[in-house]
Structure 1
Amino acid sequence: MNENITPIDPIAISLGPIQVHWYGVIIGLGIALGLYLVIRESKRLGLHPDTFIDLLVWAIPIAIISARAYYVIFEWDNYYADHPGDIIKVWNGGIAIHGALIGSVLTTIVFAKIKGLPFWKLVDIAAPSIILGQAIGRWGNFVNQEAHGWEVSRAFLESLMLPDFIINQMYINGAYYHPTFLYESLWSFAGLILLLVLRRKASSLRRGELFLTYVIWYSIGRFFVEGLRTDSLMLGSLRFAQVISIVLIIGAIGVFFYRRKAGLAKKGYDEKTDSVNA
């Protein structure tokens, strides 16, 4: 197959030696919209709007570093051992969402302790923003032509009624591929709607349960999408993201019921309290 298709230029703006990549622009957009959501909700729940700005000052760089480190560790023998100078080139892609989650959750735990704020309240408020950022961020993978799935035919992609700009961007090195970035993005947007609907029915939610719902929802989608990908981070013969997804699903369900049974989920989602133990 030899089609004359030009991929999207990954560079959005060039100003002399300075290049702004679409990947960074898209990630930045996800962060900005996510921050807008958390500030609105934090005001409604009685938190100072600067709370999440202060948190993100630490959480964003730590999440990026941990996401990159996670990816580099798994790809060390395959690539980075011979190209250590490329470790800092995050604009070319190669940041792992699970690594970002680890870094951001650990940062939030420390931040909550220092500020005397309830951890579960913070992550509940942040949950819709996290999944929104993931939904938007996958389009950075689209521009970079990465995180795609198995080889498919153009006819298959057309049968999905996808616009030409998506189909054409999935033409990589002489073949078409599953747009797994799109599958995960749509799943995440659906998860955002679910979380916003559940949040409106806050009377039935205990604190922490919106975040746990996010973890379960995202992990289910990631498990199935990961099975289609060709660039999975591997642990022996296992796709590590699928292993982590199963662990997160079981763990989140376990924490959900344990907190209810042990009486640790006494506070409602929308109760306005700043107790660190709530």
Structure 2
Amino acid sequence: MFATVNPTAFEIFGLPIQWYALIIVSAIILATYLASKEAVKVGLKSDDITDFMLWAIPISFLGARIYYVIFEWRYYVENPHLILAIRNGGLAIYGGLIAGAIVVYFFTRHHFISTWKFLDVATPSVILAQAIGRWGNFMNHEAFGGDTTRAFLEKLHLPNFIIDNMYIEGVYRQPTFLYESVWNLIGFVILIWLRRKPNFFKEGEITLCYVMWYSFGRFFIEGMRTDSLMLFQTFRVSQLLSAILFVAAIVIFVIRHKKEDVPLYVRDKGL
């Protein structure tokens, strides 16, 4: 018995349409919708989000691919014809987030929008999209952890379709995709709940809480995965970056919170 889910959803004129692509696109659409609704409540325009996404989506995908290729350079230097073969996999979420953050900076500067406010509008939707996107990894039979047993997976009260699909390469695997998806979903709920509290956050603090939450969970979940990008064959890249981001977010949060000139994140509850 092997993984049971077919990565291909259907075909159009012989072209296979992958579940991964459908899930990622759905996550992006939902995130864009939610961020657009929130933008209006803080004095921005919903078009600000859609205009940003026109730039952010392709550049973030490019960043995710470049990040992956850089840390798998030994393989791609011998197989340069596969560098653009993203249908074979190889997108790193951290690369996409870094590229997206760069786009945010230049987009907000160009449109005279507070960068921190814009990020605060976007980041809860981003972590929700990440939670949904991990199910694309499930459909592709990737981003799984080390060996485990069916008995262990059953103790987690998982449905059989997940347990069966975790039987990969002759053994049952830890569903690390699911661990991260649940972690991100919890983070989304907490961020939305806190963001609704009046005068609770200063601008930028929602974003920094997102960074702390995501990087903290990713650090431990990454340690369970079997497909980590490695640095010098010693360090897991995502663990190292998660630790750096977690500490940096705490430091920046404390510094900004103490500043009196940092405005509050204010929502119009009437909208």
* Fold similarity call, TM over 0.5: yes
- Name the aligned partner's letter for residue 17 of structure 2: V
Q: Which residue of 1 aligns with 2:237?
A: 240
Displacement, 1:5?
3.8
Which of 6, 9, 13 matches 1:9? Answer: 6
Q: Report the Cα distance in structure 2 between the residues aligned to 1:173 and 1:21, rounded to whole angstroms.
A: 21
- Residue 271 of structure 1 and its aligned partner are, at CA, apart by 5.9
Structure 2 stretches lacking a partner, 5+ long:
none
> How many Å separate the matches in 2 of 1:98 and 1:224?
15
Counterpart of 2:260 (choices 249, 258, 263) is 263
Q: Is the 8 A contact 2:145 2:176 kept in 1?
A: yes
Matched with 2:43 is: 46
Output the CA distance in 1 between the equivalents of 2:198 and 2:94. Answer: 27
Counterparts of 1:17 and 1:83, CA distance in 2: 27
Query: Would you say 1:188 and 2:184 are equivalent positions?
Result: yes
1:156-179 CA distances to partner (integer Å, 9 max, x unpaired)?
111111111101111111111000
Q: One-letter code of the match for 2:56?
A: A
Answer yes or no: is the 8 Å Cα contact 2:31–2:129 preserved in 1: yes
**Equivalence for 2:200:** 204
- Residue deviations 1:182-208 (CA, integer Å, cap 9, x gap): 000000000000001111113111001
Matched residue, 1:163? 159
Structure-2 separation of matches of 1:169 and 1:33: 26
TM-score by length of 1: 0.92
SS in 2 for 1:121: helix
CA contact (8 A) 2:3 2:141 kept: no
Pair 1:252-2:264 in alignment? no
Q: What's the CA shift for 1:257?
A: 1.2
1-side partners of 2:136 and 2:18: how far apart? Answer: 9
CA contact (8 A) 1:21 1:91 kept: no
SS of match in other structure, 1:20: strand
Distance 1:113 1:223, change over 3 A: same
TM-score (normalised: structure 2): 0.95
| Deviation at residue 6 of structure 1 after TM alignment | 5.1
Which of the numbers 147, 153, 156 marks the counterpart of 2:143?
A: 147
Aligned residues between the structures: 267
- After the TM superposition, which parts of structure 1 deviate over 3 Å for at least 4 consecutive aligned residues? none
Unpaired runs of 5+ in structure 1? 273-278
Change (3 A) 1:158 1:271: closer
- The corresponding residue for 1:275 is none
The correspondence of residues 36-115 of structure 1 with structure 2, limited to 5 A, is 36-77=33-74, 79-115=75-111
Shift of 1:153: 1.0
Report the equivalent of 1:127.
123
